[in-house]
Structure 1
Amino acid sequence: MVVLNGSQLTIEQMKAILFENEGVEIAESAREAVIKSRTAVDQIVQQNKTVYGINTGFGKFSDVSIAEEDTRLLQLHLIRSHACGVGEPFSEVVSRAMVVLRLNALLKGFSGIRLEVLERLAYMVNHRIHPVIPQQGSLGASGDLAPLSHLALVLVGEGLVFQSGRHVPSAEVWRDELLLPIELEAKEGLALINGTQAMTAQGIVGYIEAEKLAYDAEWIAAMTVEALRGITDAFHPAIHEARGYKEQIEVAERMLEWLKDSKLTTVQGEMRVQDAYSLRCIPQIHGASWQVLNYVKEKLEIEMNAATDNPLIFDDGETVISGGNFHGQPVAFAMDFLKIGIAELANVSERRIERLVNPHLNDGLPPFLSPQPGMQSGAMIMQYAAASLVSENKTLAHPASVDSIPSSGNQEDHVSMGTIGSRHAYQIIQNSRRVLAIEAICAAQAVEYRGVEMMSPKLGGKWQDVRNVVSSFNRDRNFSVDIESVASYLGRITVQ
């Protein structure tokens, strides 16, 4: 069980919750903070103090007062009207992440929501009750209103949940669980939907997959180095220490480890003086992408432990402040940065693919790695597919965060578009994984021509892993199936 207290959740814990179905429980200290915060909201309602979202309308309607007897109905109207998401739903793993993150944020005790509601969110995580949440419709401020409204609808028995590959009404699920839907009270609807958990949830899932892909990119690149009889001097630690970037130094170290005891690699002057950039500059290029990943991880771990709704309640209710922590700009920037970092891993991978298949560049390998050049095309069109994917990535990498459009009668006049950024980042990760799958297929084929027995022991093991997924091609076939099979292999997430 992962104990949630609103301030110490990590990416590694999220990995266990999302990919190993680890359960969650609420820390006792968080329970106390939540109860205090809720008591403050009850007092505000009883004393008829005017506080945004408790007894006022929302957005442009913030100056409209709501009678005490209508404060519950106000919250139900809020989530119904704001559930305007459209398009395909987020994946079930992203939906699970969203529930965990919203729960963790509300456990900080600044939101005025009842413990009963948060216990139900924890129940949803532990019993795999995952809301069906459309991907499109969020501006990323006031947070992810539309996606989180679909999450909140499940609590009140009006939304849909995933169940065995189907979308099932939540009312049926609660009946099966012998539980009643939640009846929201003052501020609770707003507390549930005013936050950045859609962009952050998709960002976390994207980051976890991107981190795995960045490690995979190194052994795949190393296999290409062997296939092209690359020069290992370029990975000498002195070069990278002379520049000083930690991530670059670490990539170079890992490259040398992958290539240790290889009889296929060369030294400078043995066959050529230096390699092309796509081989020689692997530590510099991949290392820069690792810098991006480290930045993204830092921002996500702050955001996943942040209070992101509005208003926030402090000093046992003595201080209630309307602010803008729901604004997704920090996450939007991080997601746009992630897009660039991962797109570049694919860009350089595609250039290595070209060197593997191009007879003018591949140092004597068969043209397009074809078993019968001319009669059979071999890997020719695999390179086309890689080129198409990296070109698509360039379009998706356009920053979402540079866009903004006013909403709510110009009250909400600058928004982050962070959820669009996180969705596009995830698309780039999927595209890039397929590009690297193509490189892995081509590199595995190429080293067979050189001599598998001459590979480094570590890379020989990886070659066998690839061969366990796809066989060597001694004749043309439907390579789409191979690409998807290797991409699926690369996409498996394991928890240490």
Structure 2
Amino acid sequence: MAYGLGELLQSMMNLHEALLIQMNHSDDNPYVAIDYRPTARNSSQEQRYVIDMPDGSRGAIVPTANFDSTPFVRPMEYLLHSMGTLSVAMAQNIVRFEDPHINGGLPRFLAGSDGHGFGAVSKLAGSLLDRIQAETTLTRSSNLVVAGGQLEDVSNAGPNTARKMREALKLMYQLAAMQTLYAAQAVDLRRRDASQPLALGAVTQKLHADFRARSGMMIQDSETRTALAEAERLLKGWSP
């Protein structure tokens, strides 16, 4: 999980940097150069870009390359791939919660009493993971030149990548809601059966308390749709 989160964070930082550059460079607009000093090596065409400024300095308005969003679409695609990687770890985390051989002796399926616990809802994790993996599969593009007589403006996978990212994020919130439901149940079961108090970190304790204010521990088998919906709403607006 830690490596998946780290990769996702690094991907977000890389995309942020690429978008910052994209938004602040001239791209399809003329480039304004300050203190431009042409040399004898500049062609006569390049000499025509020079402008004499009122203060005696010289600048230039220079045509730039055409619009091509590849420099920030590629980091976007890598972020999408990182989301897919993290989703596998999230789903595996849910499965591990249910296994008494891994969870330190907690009841199978985290049942609060004699029952099936989360046995039925656990299938949802696999379904969500399949859908997330479908959305995070990278979309390849031929980088079609679409304007200027096949001279400029490159079309690529940017819009489709953004759409897939939006859909994957919706599904990952649902998967994270399952993690929250399972983790809260595991904490309560551990506290119920432990001979010593179970201490949580400050942030974890706050999340647990905020979730329990919305949805209580599952003692008897019951539907989980309401609890999952509450967890998802909480996560979308929660901060430590």
Aligned counterpart for 2:125 among listed residues 386, 389, 406 = 386
Distance 2:208 2:105 in 1: 21
Counterpart check, 1:312 vs 2:56: no
Distance 1:380 1:304 in 2: 49
Superposed, 1:88-167 pairs within 5 Å as none
Counterpart check, 1:300 vs 2:19: yes
Counterpart check, 1:422 vs 2:140: no
Distance 2:74 2:238 in 1: 25
Aligned twin of 2:108: 367
How much has 1:351 moved relative to structure 2? 0.7
Q: Which has the higher helix share?
A: 1
Note closer, same or farther for the CA distance 1:305–1:470 as it changes in structure 2 (3 Å cut): farther
Superposed, 1:39-50 pairs within 5 Å as none
Aligned twin of 1:285: 4
Aligned twin of 2:86: 345
Distance 1:320 1:457 in 2: 57
Is the contact made by 2:211 and 2:231 (CA closer than 8 Å) also made in structure 1? Answer: yes
TM-score w.r.t. length of structure 1: 0.38
Aligned twin of 2:221: 476
Task: Report the residue type matching 1:470 in the other structure.
Answer: S
Is the contact made by 1:437 and 1:483 (CA closer than 8 Å) also made in structure 2? Answer: yes
Counterpart check, 1:441 vs 2:181: yes
Is the contact made by 1:296 and 1:335 (CA closer than 8 Å) also made in structure 2? Answer: yes
Is the contact made by 1:357 and 1:367 (CA closer than 8 Å) also made in structure 2? Answer: yes
Note closer, same or farther for the CA distance 1:429–1:448 as it changes in structure 2 (3 Å cut): same
Is the contact made by 1:345 and 1:432 (CA closer than 8 Å) also made in structure 2? Answer: no
Distance 2:142 2:230 in 1: 37
Is the contact made by 1:293 and 1:341 (CA closer than 8 Å) also made in structure 2? Answer: no
Aligned counterpart for 1:397 among listed residues 136, 152, 159 = 136
How much has 1:428 moved relative to structure 2? 1.6
Is the contact made by 1:350 and 1:386 (CA closer than 8 Å) also made in structure 2? Answer: yes
How much has 1:437 moved relative to structure 2? 1.4
Is the contact made by 2:83 and 2:136 (CA closer than 8 Å) also made in structure 1? Answer: no
TM-score w.r.t. length of structure 2: 0.74
1:13-60: CA deviation from partner (whole Å, max 9, x where unpaired): xxxxxxxxxxxxxxxxxxxxxxxxxxxxxxxxxxxxxxxxxxxxxxxx
Is the contact made by 1:329 and 1:401 (CA closer than 8 Å) also made in structure 2? Answer: no
Counterpart check, 1:321 vs 2:39: no
Distance 2:29 2:161 in 1: 26
Is the contact made by 2:109 and 2:116 (CA closer than 8 Å) also made in structure 1? Answer: yes
Is the contact made by 1:365 and 1:449 (CA closer than 8 Å) also made in structure 2? Answer: yes
Aligned twin of 2:44: none
Aligned twin of 1:128: none
Distance 2:221 2:232 in 1: 20
Distance 2:60 2:21 in 1: 26
Is the contact made by 1:369 and 1:445 (CA closer than 8 Å) also made in structure 2? Answer: yes
1:186-239: CA deviation from partner (whole Å, max 9, x where unpaired): xxxxxxxxxxxxxxxxxxxxxxxxxxxxxxxxxxxxxxxxxxxxxxxxxxxxxx
Note closer, same or farther for the CA distance 1:382–1:301 as it changes in structure 2 (3 Å cut): farther
Counterpart check, 1:455 vs 2:203: no
SS at match of 1:470: coil
Distance 1:401 1:329 in 2: 12
